[in-house]
Structure 1
Amino acid sequence: MTINRRTLLGALTAAPAAVLVSGQALAQDTAQATTQATAPVTGLPPVLHQFSIGEARVTVLLDGHLPLGTQLFANFDAEKANAALARGLHQMTPAGLQIPVQAYLVELGDKKILIDAGTADLMGPNLGAMGAGLAAMGVNPSEISTVLLTHMHPDHAGGLVAADGTAVFANAELVVSQVEWEFWHDDAIMASVPENSRGFFQMARMTVAPYQNRLRLIAGEASVLSGFTALPLPGHTPGHTGYMLDSGGQQLLFWGDIIHSTALQFAFPDWTIAFDTDPELTAATRHKMLDRAATDGLLLTGSHIDFPGLGRVLRQTEGYAYQPAPWQFGL
């Protein structure tokens, strides 16, 4: 699957509905999109990375990868992009830049907490490995006590639901921003977008529907679990949320989709992408978080930062740079 301008024609006619989905789903109506979303998951090998933060053990679960076409970047400048790419090892392919999709398992005390849930098979054969990662660890989905969602795009929420429409994590409480929930469940907003984009809303609703009796909606900056604080990071979606883990005197920020392209958006923070609901707010939030991360020396991770996506932000004369953390031995 290649994400490019052609596959996004339907989405781009309705900015609030623009989410990471395949061109096939864009062309389908709601019923067809729902059928696609609940199809069997293809098998992919598990890819994991583990490290500790205080008393917590964090496992990065690589769900897979997808190409991000350069046509999707606002303000894209080929000369600047080529100069940035020349400073590193990222390769531009005809399909675009490859970016990862990641979810996280945090084991803290007797709790197993999942941050985002991957795609299942919503987005093609190169994604959907999050479940295989849990299985490789010997973790049964029934052991997950809480799922913290950064937002309700299908590469973050798709793995919540099984092919038969039931909850994958049968005993988990689902935690999501109230703003995010209300946006995707607003019939008036859904009715205002083109008909072939309404499947986005149906997919968002379908993935969270089995959790409505175990749902906790959160607002603002607030403690959501022992050791976890929710941070509103709006722009990419209205209720896009990060989570700060505090454990044993150490901190780790899970900042969701603040960055999609490690290669380009640290250097050029104003380069938003077509999937950002509010590009201006997205850029403002990104600048705020990059400045905070660089000033405070925050250890952070993000769903699309180069796997395993653990590092910190360095301030440059122009823009920022990403410094990956070294491998943590002796876990």
Structure 2
Amino acid sequence: MTINRRAFLSTLAAAPVLSLGGGAVARAEAAGAGAITHGFTLGDARVTVLLDGHLPVGTQLINGYDEARAQQVLAQGLHRMQDNALTIPVNGYLVERAGRRVLIDTGTAQLMGPGLGALHAGLAAAGVAPDSIDTVLLTHMHPDHAGGLLAADGTAAFANAELVVAQREWDFWHDDAILASVPEGSRGFFDMARRAVAPYADRLRLLQGEGEAAPGFTALDLPGHTPGHTGFMLDAGGEGLLFWGDLIHSTALQFAEPGWTIAFDADPAQTVTTRRRMLDRAVADNLLVTGAHLDFPALGRVLRQGEAYAWQAAPWQFGL
């Protein structure tokens, strides 16, 4: 299908937004309605998971989808399909370490409908002012990751932050030849990406391959979902956490069926190759991982399950 803003918004109507509650979840009352956060300490870092909201992914968006197999997988867990869609979260991350504040992805702001856009309220709930953010690390420039870079008036939402993004990602979205070659309905993605990052032009750092993205963070090249899709490994004084962006969209289905991709994966074959490589690494190294669309609060480990994988969520006490 054509990847455009209308397609994104149409998926929002495909299934109801799920509610979350209980546990060590902070809700913003005065700071902002709908804000949900989950904070925990890892080594010498404090990490806060910021729930931007939820969006439904219809089965028509899943490449390789097989209804019988999907129902078999779903029957083994607690996820349920509603109106031929699975609801997935959009997560961002605040990492406070060594006196610095790093934000990984920024949510959607107002780009993708009323069920999203709560990340800034989550920051307020955590007592963090946008102008206190030192660095914003972008996994990629899709609107559910870069949309929150902008304030409502179109200025930079993070007035003092350096923006860090992969050179290959930046080049893709700013290439006029590529823009001219895509279907007209998909060009809105390029417009949204360019507008989101434009106010940061004077404090932009472009990553050249893998290496230090910020103090304590190593960039990892994870191409496929987008050409410059990037993960970040946090070294928190001997404790590690892998932020893998959009390596997995559906916790319910893609660990069991890692060959299934989503319509928004720019290169499905490369996406699967990258996914299997990183899932294998996560298993072999027993990594603690988190991702933008893993079930909130999105912390856990990857297990081997035959030729596929399984997700083991961290106990809720992890956040205490």
Fold-level similarity (TM above 0.5): yes
Specify the alignment match of 1:21 in structure 2. Answer: 8
SS at match of 2:63: coil
SS at match of 1:22: helix
| 8 A contact 1:167–1:211 mirrored in 2 | yes
Specify the alignment match of 1:142 in structure 2. Answer: 131
After superposition, what is the alpha-carbon deviation per residue over 1:199-221, rounded to whole angstroms, capped at 9, x for unaligned?
A: 11010000000000000000211
Specify the alignment match of 2:145 in structure 1. Answer: 156
After superposition, what is the alpha-carbon deviation per residue over 1:27-82, rounded to whole angstroms, capped at 9, x for unaligned?
A: xxxxxxxxxxxxxxxx6411011111110000000000011111111111111110
Displacement after TM superposition at 1:22 (Å) = 2.1
Gaps of 5+ in 2: 12-31
Specify the alignment match of 2:259 in structure 1. Answer: 270
Specify the alignment match of 1:256 in structure 2. Answer: 245
Matches of residues 1-331 of structure 1 in structure 2 within 5 Å?
Answer: 9-11=1-3, 21-23=8-10, 44-328=33-317, 331=320
Q: Which has the higher helix share?
A: 1
Root-mean-square deviation over aligned CA pairs = 1.8
CA 254–66 in structure 1, closer or farther in 2 if over 3 Å, else same: same
SS at match of 1:127: coil
CA–CA separation in structure 2 for the residues paired with 1:76 and 1:325: 28
TM-score, structure 1 length as denominator? 0.88
CA–CA separation in structure 2 for the residues paired with 1:146 and 1:289: 25
After superposition, what is the alpha-carbon deviation per residue over 1:146-166, rounded to whole angstroms, capped at 9, x for unaligned?
A: 000000000000000012110
What is the one-letter code of the residue matched to 1:21? F
CA–CA separation in structure 2 for the residues paired with 1:217 and 1:317: 39
SS at match of 1:179: helix
- Displacement over 6 Å in runs of 4+: 17-20
| 8 A contact 2:179–2:190 mirrored in 1 | yes
Name which of structure 1's ranges 144-153 and 223-232 shifts more when overlaid on structure 2. Answer: 223-232
CA–CA separation in structure 2 for the residues paired with 1:86 and 1:263: 10
After superposition, what is the alpha-carbon deviation per residue over 1:281-300, rounded to whole angstroms, capped at 9, x for unaligned?
A: 00000000010001110000
CA–CA separation in structure 2 for the residues paired with 1:121 and 1:255: 24
What is the one-letter code of the residue matched to 2:171? E
Displacement after TM superposition at 1:95 (Å) = 4.5
| 8 A contact 1:117–1:130 mirrored in 2 | yes
CA 274–65 in structure 1, closer or farther in 2 if over 3 Å, else same: same
Displacement after TM superposition at 1:19 (Å) = 10
TM-score, structure 2 length as denominator? 0.91
| 8 A contact 1:142–1:170 mirrored in 2 | yes
After superposition, what is the alpha-carbon deviation per residue over 1:243-299, rounded to whole angstroms, capped at 9, x for unaligned?
A: 000012110000000000000000000001100000000000000001000111000
What is the one-letter code of the residue matched to 2:161? A
| 8 A contact 2:38–2:319 mirrored in 1 | no
SS at match of 1:266: coil
| 8 A contact 1:101–1:155 mirrored in 2 | yes
How many residues are aligned here? 301
What is the one-letter code of the residue matched to 2:157? V
CA 231–330 in structure 1, closer or farther in 2 if over 3 Å, else same: closer
